[in-house]
Amino acid sequence: MTPPPVPQGRVVIENAALATVDTEGTEHSSGHLVVHGDRIESLGPGPAPAGLTDVRRRVDGTGHLLTPGLVNTHHHFYQWLTRGLATDHKLFDWLVALYPTWARIDEPMVRAAARGSLAMMARGGVTCAMDHHYIYPRGAGDLSGALVGAALDLGVRFTLARGSMDRGTSDGGLPPDFAVEALDEALAATEETVDRFHDTAFGAMTHVAVAPCSPFSVSTELMRQGAELARRKGVRLHTHGSETREEAAFCRELFGMGPTDYFASTGWLGEDVWMAHCVHMDDADIAAFARSGTGVAHCPSSNARLAAGIARVPDLLAAGVPVGLGVDGTASNESGELHTELRNAVLVARLGPHREAALTARQSLRLATAGGARVLGRQDEIGSLEPGKLADLVLWRLDTLAHSTIADPVAALVLGAPAPVTLSLVGGRPVVEHGRLVHADEDLVAREARDEAGRLAALMG
């Protein structure tokens, strides 16, 4: 799958408020940014420098906020086909209810679900997405190829976390036995996925991570050998961790230790690791993540939907733990767009012990941009507006009825209604223009996903 060519010429954006999300948190109330090819060339207050040559496009950003593109650090695209089911279940009951359906997915379903998931995120300002796909039914087709192809088609930068499960119900796990792979098969297929799709170049459109699903669906040997495989191949590691109290009890019963100690014993703490959720962590757990540089994908809407609890995000950040935002699968977050997580990250955190001091709007924007880039290991490429970084950026319209009386543009973006995207660029290439996808017909994507959801429902009777 060939990445798109580097665009030619310059794009100049002027008269917009800028939130760069660089280390200093630099902002400009009215400024400019110049894109040359696929990189940010320059930015600053006031109009762009005079005399720029080879300008292929000028954009008037009056009434807009320009930010880095949003980075989604945890998702399950296939769940787009099973939204609105088991809406009153906690995690373990929800999984038991839905695993039998998920185990019947095939390549056309995964492709349609991926296009739906990516389209929704891209339309809402996501320029770099990831998918943790861990269900590979026998005979289902090329599921990894379908996922990578969907991201390339829509123009979104992508990390495929090639998941796996080998602990079925007969071994004390949650998924049915027919939904899991054998240990050797899972490892071989994961390595093949890395070899086939992982691109090490600066500005790569596709990365691959090694991602056994969770302690309650994966054997200890798959965890250990998965970590060894990832480090031999030089790719990142991802899994679910400390999501619920039930998971902690499961780990203590099965392994004689809590989740963080179990992850440490299997080689799953380190700067090349990030975990989803991390809701139920004590001070020692947080300290272990901070010492090792292990990252967290915070999914506030899903945590609330499944009644998992309130993650200690203020404490994680204070300790220096890398934290990004995640949508999580849309069977536990029916909207499937990251702006919801920007807002809910602030609101949910303020329900915890830190109250109004828990999280600010600017901290939330940082989680969704620079924080997510660091969690995915791409902080040198994306996540902030700085010269030399990739031109992954979003121009948000804030002068309409929904936002026009909110003077602070960052507060308007984070706490207000979802802002329309006037322009979204990935590597300097337009992905969204005036709220519409550039590379896909949104209505067609919706119909295809509806048809495949109906076919999956019919298979289940």
* Residue among 281, 210, 272 nearest 242 (CA): 281
What letter does residue 138 receive in the DSSP assignment? T
The first and second tokens of residue 204, run together, are: 């790569």
Amino acid identity, position 455:
R
pLDDT value for 96: 87
Tokens 């040997």 belong to 221
Pairing of strands 206-212, 393-397: unpaired
Pairing of strands 429-433, 436-437: antiparallel
pLDDT value for 259: 96
- CA–CA dist 329, 216 (Å, integer): 18
What letter does residue 72 receive in the DSSP assignment? B
Per-residue pLDDT of the chain (461 residues), as tens digits, is 677 888 999 999 999 999 999 999 999 999 999 999 999 999 999 999 999 999 999 999 999 999 999 999 999 999 999 999 999 999 889 988 999 999 999 999 999 999 999 999 999 999 999 999 999 999 999 999 999 999 999 999 999 999 999 998 888 888 888 889 999 999 999 999 999 999 999 999 999 999 999 988 999 999 999 999 999 999 999 999 999 998 889 899 989 999 999 999 999 999 999 999 999 999 999 999 999 999 999 999 999 999 999 999 999 999 999 999 999 999 999 999 999 999 999 999 999 999 999 999 999 999 999 999 999 999 999 999 999 999 999 999 999 999 999 999 999 999 999 999 999 999 999 999 999 999 999 999 999 999 999 999 999 88
Residue 149 CB-half CA count within 13 A: 11
What letter does residue 453 receive in the DSSP assignment? H
Phi (first) and psi of residue 247, to 5 degrees: -65, -45
- In terms of phi and psi (left: phi > 0; alpha: psi -120 to 50; beta: otherwise), the region of 25 is left
Q: What are the DSSP calls for 370-416, one per residue?
A: IIHHHHTT-TTTSSS--TTSB--EEEEE--STTTTT---HHHHHHHS
Residue 42's beta-bridge partner residues? 34
For residues 55 and 12, is the Cβ–Cβ distance under 8 A?
yes
Pairing of strands 70-71, 126-133: parallel
Residue 128's beta-bridge partner residues? 71, 157
pLDDT value for 334: 95
Angle at the Cα of 185 (from 182 to 191), degrees rounded to 5? 140
Angle at the Cα of 366 (from 148 to 78), degrees rounded to 5? 30
SS3 307: coil
Q: Which long-range contacts (CB under 8 A, 24 or more apart) does 224-228 make?
A: 224/266, 224/267, 225/183, 225/187, 226/164, 226/187, 226/190, 227/266, 227/267, 227/268, 228/267
Phi (first) and psi of residue 33, to 5 degrees: -145, 135
- CA–CA dist 216, 226 (Å, integer): 16
In the chain, DSSP finds a helix count (H) and a strand count (E) of: 15, 17
- CA–CA dist 174, 172 (Å, integer): 7
pLDDT value for 1: 62
For residues 303 and 270, is the Cβ–Cβ distance under 8 A?
no
pLDDT value for 136: 96
pLDDT value for 92: 87
pLDDT value for 4: 82
- CA–CA dist 378, 370 (Å, integer): 9
Tokens 């994306």 belong to 382
Q: Who's near 103: CB < 8 A, 6+ residues apart?
A: 135, 137, 175, 176, 178, 179
